[in-house]
Amino acid sequence: MITKRIIPCLDVRDGRVVKGVNFEGLRDVSSPVELADYYSRCGADELVFYDITASAEGRGLFTDILKKTAERVFIPLTVGGGINTLDDFDRVLKCGADKVSVNSGAIRDPALIGAAAKRYGDQCVVLSVDVKRVGGRFCVFAKGGRENTGLDAIEWIKKGVADGAGELVVNSMDTDGVKGGFDLPLLSAVCDAVDVPVIASGGAGKIEDFITLFDTLPRVDAGLAASIFHFGEVDIKTLKQQMARHGIPARL
Amino acid sequence: MIALVDYGVGNLFSLRSSFAALGVETVVTADPAVIRGAERVVLPGVGAFGDAARKLSAAGLDRAVVGAAKAGKPLLGICLGMQLLFDVSYEYGTFGGLSLIRGAVRPIREKIPAALKIPHIGWNALRFTKPSPLFRYIKEGDHVYFVHSYAADLTEATVATAEYGAPLVAAVQQDNVFGCQFHPEKSGPVGLSILRAFCEVSV
């Protein structure tokens, strides 16, 4: 049986992890290489690097650090942020990324997912969607959640999967940062609409939130979070042991 | 020295890094002569079977790989590289493989209940069906990372399976020819242990 995946997400700018992290025993808490190594050793099933670099020069630093990380971390690595063209796919895949996550880039260029899936395979293309309720509808937001595209989230996700996205990261802006649990109604609607793996994001505050997620929605494949892992509020090893104790398949 | 066969399908970065982490020297090559001269050969691969088989033979690498295997050199096929060891695949048509291992590769869809998602992606536990030197440093139940939509038939050569609605072939061995459907280079310490065991298979 496939285990449920636990995925820490690292925001990286100009080759450094932003948003502080708080771990004892790390020499350099803003080094993506050290953090990735730490997470892979404590049982993370996968890592997401999110590149929030603005300049081309900074992107160079990012790819450099990505390479260094991929040389040392032998679990799947997904890279997102600033992916707008096939060249962007190429750039990060050559540095050791296994999957590439697209968000605003797919909105700007509706042909991007199809072209990338054709060249690199569906399994390589992850569609990441920022969703917020507006007037009772699930709407897709772009540009890091700043702009309402007016697109219906479920329709957008269906189209992305039909075009070749092999996996989805569904980030609820309504639950993100609140630490009150994942957005179960949204995730349920997504699971009903598509049959590719779904990664839940936004809202996890404690171990029980992950247990509730996988208990309530067994079709969700993975839980993604950032700060609760970085600040040690949720320890990945403990989380996975608790999942196993609740009968949720976990890689221990 | 281990030859990593480079025939333009898939990314050899992680595989090269994995062997480097084990302190094993590799050469990424598309040269049949280098493959013939190597001590061991690794055949990686992602993508579609037909395309990969065509690229492999266009470069004359199919004969080099088969030659190395027939000469008794340890050969390890990974993911699509494992599937290429078989006789035939029915991925988007009918395509011949290297026929180093008897059997066929078919859509997972034909093998598992309809409710399960395709591809079979994520970490799954290994169940050993036969002993193999590949498992020297790991134990049954250890998890490895899979990404595939097609799977080989269960045959005499199957040495490990993974349960996904049905037992799917996870690893194969026929004498000196080995194959992993999963990605050892993405399977953490367990995966590295499998690669290390492959490096130690006696020639």
Provide the CATH number for the domain around residue A91: 3.20.20.70
Residue A119: what pLDDT? 84
pLDDT at B104 over 60: yes
Residue A146: what pLDDT? 87
Domain B2-200: state its class: alpha beta
Of all residues in chain A, the one with the smallest CA distance to B124 is A2
Residue B106 in tokens: 């078919």
Which residues of chain A carry a pLDDT beneath 70?
A: 19-29
Count of structural domains, chain A: 1
The residue segments making up the domain with residue A162 are 5-245
**pLDDT per position as a tens digit, B150-190:** 999 999 999 999 999 999 999 999 999 999 999 999 999 99
Task: Identify whether A140 is part of a domain.
Answer: yes
**What whole-number distance in Å separates Cα of residue B98 and Cα of residue B81?**
10
CB-closest option in B14, B46, B118 to A70: B14
**What whole-number distance in Å separates Cα of residue A73 and Cα of residue A69?**
6
Residue A5 in tokens: 């995946």
Task: Identify whether A251 is part of a domain.
Answer: no
Spell out the long-range contacts of A14-19 with Cβ–Cβ below 8 A and sequence spacing 24 or more. A14/A53, A14/A55, A14/A57, A14/A58, A14/A61, A14/A62, A15/A53, A15/A58, A15/A61, A15/A62, A15/A64, A15/A65, A16/A65, A18/A52, A19/A226, A19/A227, A19/A230
Residue A197: what pLDDT? 94
Residue A25: what pLDDT? 60
**pLDDT per position as a tens digit, B2-34:** 999 998 877 788 999 999 999 999 999 999 999
Is A130 annotated as catalytic? yes
Asked if the Cβ–Cβ distance from B186 to A123 is below 8 Å, we say no
Mean pLDDT across B115-139: 95
Asked if the Cβ–Cβ distance from A71 to B20 is below 8 Å, we say yes
Whether B117 and chain A come into contact, CB under 8 Å, resolves to: yes
Asked if the Cβ–Cβ distance from B13 to A70 is below 8 Å, we say yes
Q: Which amino acid is at A48?
A: V
Task: Identify whether A252 is part of a domain.
Answer: no
Asked if the Cβ–Cβ distance from A2 to B188 is below 8 Å, we say no
Q: Which amino acid is at A137?
A: R
Q: Interior CA angle at A230 toward A218 and A144, to 5°?
A: 75
Task: Identify whether A250 is part of a domain.
Answer: no
Task: Identify whether A149 is part of a domain.
Answer: yes
Q: Is the ipTM of this complex over 0.95?
A: no
**pLDDT per position as a tens digit, B51-72:** 899 999 998 999 999 999 999 9
Q: Domain-by-domain residue ranges, chain B?
A: 2-200
- A67: chain B residues, CB-CB within 8 Å: 13
DSSP label at residue A124: G
Residue A95 in tokens: 């540095």
Of all residues in chain B, the one with the smallest CA distance to A166 is B119
Cα-based torsion angle of the residue sequence B59, B153, B2, B176 in order, rounded to the nearest 10 degrees: -110
Residue A16: what pLDDT? 86
Residue A18: what pLDDT? 81
